[in-house]
Amino acid sequence: MSVAQIPAVARALRATFATDVVDAETRLTGGLSGAGSWRIRVGGIPYALRVDTARDAVRDPVRAQACQGIAADALLTPRLRHADPEGGVTIVEWIEARPLSDFPGGGGALLDELARTVRLLHETPAFPPLMDYADALDGLVRGLLSRLLLAPANRERMAVLWDDLAAAGRAAGVETVSSHNDLNPRNILSDGRRLWLVDWESAFAADRYVDLAAVANLFAPSPEAVERMLSVYFGAPPTDRQRRRLALTRRVSHLFYAVMFLTLAAEERPDARLAPDVACRPLDQFQAALGEGRPLLETWQGRLEYGLARLAAAD
């Protein structure tokens, strides 16, 4: 069935282009959010079409599209051509993405551009609030701990780790900004000149260090790179407090992705049980393999291993 035959999509096409006929469509894969994404062509021009049908405590197209609209006004995400929160449909201008590894100037220039992009995002008008980030993560951690995927000793270790991180985070305070909350390479596009942020499903007002930690964990491989990122973001050499806040939130970010991927693994195979001493490759090796384009996250084993690697990095 053509995507144009979905009633909400047909309405969106007619409202945007005065036709519900598409010249061509290609289903896009690789995302983990559950949303459907397509590259469509209408009148010879390509667009990105997304359909979000899931609704839960976090996934809400009304909030997500409001955040996306603010980001589009700031030219941080592709221009919105149509947004229908009731049907969960968005149509945006197509970005012909190039590998982040090919960004002009190399990794240092990419990190600088990421820091500037995140700063601009955090300076936009306030995103709608949703919940306290720590409270949201607490619910995810408790949910994973109720499953049997991890051995009892490892569940206890995770519980203690999260209690310590949560207490430290509460003591450090929160600097609320408009936050993407899921800055991973799948949600960062390069057109060869600049970066675009996409997928606003998890966006809401949150602590500035959530986005900074996500970027640092994936794109700042050394203390010098972290210092560079913070200097560009703040427009001045970072203070000791800013360094400590980032270091703490980097561990929280690792734990967040660990919980997300391990929960996915537990949901996919509820009967799976891991030995207490299960081993996985170090996170830097895993990230290098992903950077080479290996589809590790497309398999259950890969998602499991990635979650374990993130958990080890959080400890």
Confidence band for 291, pLDDT divided at 50, 70 and 90: confident
pLDDT in tens, 196-248: 999 999 999 999 999 999 999 999 999 999 999 999 999 999 999 999 999 99
Whether 33 shows a pLDDT value over 60: the answer reads: no
Q: Tell me the domains of the chain and their CATH numbers.
A: 3-93 (3.30.200.20), 117-314 (3.90.1200.10)
CA angle 111, 248, 265 (to 5 degrees): 85
**Mean pLDDT of all residues belonging to the chain:** 93
pLDDT in tens, 162-200: 999 999 999 999 999 999 999 999 999 999 999 999 999
How much is the average pLDDT of 19-34?
81
The pLDDT score that the predictor gives to residue 290 is 79
Yes or no: say if 49 and 38 are a contact pair by the CB < 8 Å rule: yes
Neighbours of 293 (CB within 10 A): 9
pLDDT in tens, 87-137: 999 999 999 999 999 999 999 999 999 999 999 999 999 999 998 999 999
The pLDDT score that the predictor gives to residue 78 is 98
Neighbours of 98 (CB within 10 A): 14
Strands 36-42 and 24-28, bridge-based pairing: antiparallel
Structure tokens at 120: 């601009």
Structure tokens at 285: 């090796």
